Amino acid sequence: MSPWKTAASRTAIYIIIGIIWILYSDRFLAGIIQDPEALTQLQTYKGWAFIVFTGFILFFLLLSALRRERSLSERDSLTQLLNRHMFRQDLDSEIGLSNDSKRMLALISFNLDEFRQVNHTAGQLAGDQLLKDVAASMRAYFSGKRCIFGRVAGDEFCILLADVKDCEEAICLTQGFQQQIRRLRVQGHDLLTVSACAGIAIYPNDADNSRDLTTAANLALEEAKNLGAGYLRVYDHFFGENVHSRLQLTADLKKAIETEALSVAYQPQFDAATLEITGVEALLRWQHPEHGPISPDTFIALAEQQGLIGSITDFVCRKALEELKQTGLLGKKIPRLSVNVSAHDFDDDDSIDRFRSRFEFVDDWSVLQLELTETAAINNFENTLAVLSSLQKAKINISIDDFGTGYSSLSVLRKLPIDEVKIDRSFIHDIPSNEDDRTIVRTILAMAHSLQLRVIGEGVECKAQAEFLRKHGCHELQGYLLASPMPITELDDFCNSGQTHLKSMLATN
């Protein structure tokens, strides 16, 4: 109910009670008291009693309203944890007490991995319930400790551990809580897993005030998130240097994009049965003038964070199409060109026009294939679905990259207009020695066959992996065993002579 309606309803109740008291109290007293002098005296007492009684009612109503107002100003309405402002105030207080008693404090900053995908897949109500479950789990797990809890952003929480013995104790407690979070389940979606990254900063070792301590914990959290889901990092002073390095690297990357100092390498993909080339994947390379080759994992992640990924995708598409057109390979010796795209390519209503402008110089769009990860596929799902459907109608092939590692469910993926799935290299790597990975790969292949999807195994690095994939019906292979990524100057020669060696190497006995 709005404040105006609440105030109006309470005022109406007060007026009604007052009218009833005035109309009927006089009649009641006159009926039981016959002495006029005594009746006059009671009328005075009655007025005072009414004033005192209503005064008490108003006092408690105001007290209740003030408590609610204070609660709303201090606590997060969903989880009932302290909000950012009050958490910072309590952190300041604890630091002041710690200065007097020489206690050590541990500030833990953590957030849920891929929480946005929970909202997209299971809905906002399920996401809200998960946040409540995290808060309840937090209170339960740390119940025996002197702690302060806060929800400081959407899926970001802070815990202040007061009076910890050392950093090892803070690490042990945090790891235990991360295990607790992994036991949580998303309402109505038991197959969705839950995990959290965490960063720890210690007072007074890492900072001597609340602002710097919070910054240190957040830097540690960012380092953990850069490593992947479920990681924990303790603050180190070189993290601050890393921030400066990332800023400089970002500036260098912008310059490299503007001056076209990037290059494209091409890794061939092969028919698993005939070992004929079915296409190439365009892979971006960056040779830094001072630091040498920069890992794509580093600069692609940086481009995502800094909003440069669209420019990078534009460059790869333009450069690859120019080089393959100049050599006359595309559509002839190279039947298909695969390009990786990002979730940011599907963020707005101009996505379809952006893709069309990238490929406007291609006569036959059926030679093109877009590769996107599971996470990218279900990010902004409705818009992604519309864009992919439009592109598929234009004969562009759609492939799900790193299949099996994402946060999606098959019920979501089967709604997408896809032509191919790529089994992630993490499952293929241990095929020769790990039965669990062999089972996963067989399951993915069987599922893809039932859905009439092509399957490509990436990261094939040994003959045993290739033989297993061929035996169980994988359609295509890609990896260093077959061909390394190569510049355009080497690709034509490889198309002419490289496959003869492969056929003899993988010839079955």
Q: pLDDT tier at 407 (50, 70, 90 boundaries)?
A: very low
Q: Are 479 and 461 spatial neighbours (Cβ–Cβ below 8 Å)?
A: yes
Q: For residue 162, which amino acid is it?
A: A
Alpha-carbon distance 292 to 137, whole Å? 46
User: Which domain-ending residue is among 34, 50, 74?
Assistant: 74
The answer to whether position 29 is within a domain reads yes
Phi first, then psi, for residue 405 (nearest 5°) are: -105, -5
Q: What is the CATH number of the domain that holds 90?
A: 3.30.70.270
User: How far is 65 from 70, CA to CA, in rounded Å?
Assistant: 9
Residue 414, domain member (yes or no) = yes
Q: Are 432 and 420 in contact (CB under 8 A)?
A: no
Owner of token pair 């199409």? 321
Residue with tokens 């009833």: 20
Same domain, 409 and 316: yes
| Residue 12, both tokens | 């109406």
Whether residue 227 is found in the same domain as residue 330: no
Q: 346: domain CATH number?
A: 3.20.20.450
Its domain, for residue 70, covers 3-74
pTM of the model as a whole: 0.61
Residues 100 and 58 placed together within one structural domain of the fold? no
Out of 23, 44, 74, pick the residue that ends a domain.
Answer: 74
- Give the integer Cα–Cα distance in Å for 509 and 507: 7
CB contact at 8 A, 139 and 151:
no
Are both 371 and 453 inside the same structural domain?
Answer: yes
The residue assigned the tokens 């994947």 is 281
* Phi and psi angles of residue 197, each rounded to the nearest 5 degrees, phi first: -90, 155
Residue 450 within a domain: yes
Q: How many domains does the chain have?
A: 3
Domain-located, residue 488: yes
Q: Does residue 38 sit in the same domain as residue 135?
A: no
pLDDT digits (tens, 9 = 90+) for 175-222: 889 989 988 988 877 667 789 999 999 998 888 899 999 999 999 998
Give residue 39's pLDDT.
64
Domain match, 9 and 50 both: yes
Among 74, 95, 125, where does a domain finish? Answer: 74
How does pLDDT run across 121-130, given as a tens digit for each residue?
788 888 899 9
Residues 367 and 483 in one domain: yes
C-alpha count within 13 angstroms, C-beta hemisphere, residue 190? 0
Say if residue 70 is in the same domain as residue 90. Answer: no
Torsion of CA 434, 439, 440, 445, to 10 degrees: 130
The answer to whether residue 157 is domain-embedded is yes
Q: Which of 93-107, 155-169, 332-346, 357-371 has the lowest mean pLDDT?
A: 93-107
Tell me: do 121 and 62 sit in the same domain.
no
In 3D, which of 145, 220, 136, 146 has the Cα closest to residue 180? 136
Quick check: is 242 in a domain?
no
Does 436 score more than 90 pLDDT?
no
- DSSP, res 191: T
Q: Which DSSP state fits 333?
A: T
Written as one string, the DSSP assignment of 380-422 is THHHHHHHHHHHHHTT-EEEEEEETSSS--HHHHTTS--SEEE
Asked if 93 and 63 sit in the same domain, the reply is: no
Residue 261 counted as domain residue? no
Residues 357 and 445 in one domain: yes
Do 135 and 175 belong together in one domain? yes
How confident is the model over 157-161, as a mean pLDDT?
A: 95
Structure tokens at 119: 């909202």
Task: Indicate if the pLDDT at residue 102 is higher than 90.
Answer: no
Does pLDDT of 321 surpass 90?
Answer: yes
Judge whether 189 lies within some domain. yes
